[in-house]
Homo-oligomer: A and B are copies of this chain.
Amino acid sequence: MSRLDSVIRRLQAQRSCIDHAIALVADRPGPVFEVGLGNGRTYDHLRDRLPGRAIYAFDRQVAAHPDCIPTGQFLVLGDARQTLRATAASGGRAVLLHSDIGTGDAAANAALAVELAPVYAEAVAPGGILISDQPLAGPAFEPLALPEGVAPGRYHLYCRR
């Protein structure tokens, strides 16, 4: 598989998982947390599919397309290990959290996911959904079946117990 094939599959898996998770939380109130704003593509997707929903985006710094930068308190800059807790306290725990933190460094990705897992467990409301580019482990996370067409391990879905 070429890198072009691979990125298409990854983005399709990401979209399928996000759309599936959005359907799962459709009838539940609460904010959405986007961890890793990056270029803003999935933030744009979330706000397109969830008009009127409070969506907080977290990153260390802004590198997003100018059209895809949240305004006011919905852009939260800093270390997510601190900022998520504060935002959950002030704005409510998330009904949906999308975590896209991966870089080219697989070992660093895995280490960061281990550090973030307990933070996500606090930041997401019980019954809320986590979508993650990295596997998450811990008693708080119940793995959910992936939507059709998404290969196991390509993306990850959990329900916060």
- In the complex, A49→B42 CA distance in Å? 30
A26 within 8 A of B: no
B residues within 8 A CB of A28?
Answer: none
From residue A144, how far is it (CB to closest CB) to chain B in Å?
20
- In the complex, A2→B18 CA distance in Å? 12
A65 within 8 A of B: yes
Indicate the size class of the contact surface on chain A. Answer: 20 to 34
Binary B-proximity of A1-24 (CB < 8 A = 1, otherwise 0): 111110110011011001000000
B residues within 8 A CB of A7?
Answer: 11, 41
Say yes or no: A15 contacts B11, CB within 8 Å. no
Say yes or no: B3 contacts A41, CB within 8 Å. yes
Nearest residue (CB) in B for A40 is B3
- In the complex, A151→B76 CA distance in Å? 37
Partner of A3, one of B1, B3, B8, B65: B65
A68 within 8 A of B: yes
Say yes or no: B2 contacts A8, CB within 8 Å. no
Known: A3-B39, A4-B18. 16 other contacts (CB 8 A): A2-B41, A2-B44, A2-B45, A2-B48, A2-B49, A3-B41, A3-B44, A3-B45, A3-B65, A4-B14, A4-B15, A4-B41, A4-B44, A4-B45, A8-B12, A65-B104
Q: List 27 A-B pairs, Cβ < 8 Å.
A: A1-B48, A2-B41, A2-B44, A2-B45, A2-B48, A2-B49, A3-B39, A3-B40, A3-B41, A3-B44, A3-B45, A3-B65, A4-B11, A4-B14, A4-B15, A4-B41, A4-B42, A5-B15, A5-B45, A5-B48, A7-B11, A7-B41, A8-B8, A8-B11, A8-B12, A8-B15, A11-B11
